[in-house]
Amino acid sequence: MEELTLIAKGAEADILLDPDWNGVKAIIKRRGEKRYRIPELDAAIRRSRTVREASIIHRAKEAGVPTPLIYGVDPDGARDVKEKIQVG
């Protein structure tokens, strides 16, 4: 199993490249905990944002917008796995 590579680190999430996620290159978005928030509120916010983003991407794809495939969503872990697409 190859190591994950950090591609970007933002205020809301880390974006990682998994070069061999079930045989394909994939992007993992991992929303980190915010220690300044009440833990229950933080978990609810991260869960909600993870689910909402996946839903929006799915609806956009259904409408014909070219978007990455969503391979998996882990709402409780505030993570999702998406297709690695070539840009440009």
Q: Is residue 88 part of a domain?
A: no
The total of structural domains in the chain comes to: 1
Please state whether 22 falls in left (phi above 0), alpha (psi between -120 and 50) or beta.
left
Q: Is residue 58 part of a domain?
A: yes
State pLDDT tens for residues 43-70.
999 999 999 999 999 999 999 999 999 9
Specify the CATH number for the domain of residue 21: 3.30.200.20
What pTM value is reported for the model?
Answer: 0.88
Q: Is residue 57 part of a domain?
A: yes
Q: Which two structure tokens, joined as six digits, stand for 19?
A: 């070069």
For residues 53 and 74, the answer to whether their CB atoms sit within 8 Å is no
Burial class (CB in 10 A: 0-12, 13-18, 19+), 51: middle
pLDDT at 1: 56
Q: Is residue 53 part of a domain?
A: yes
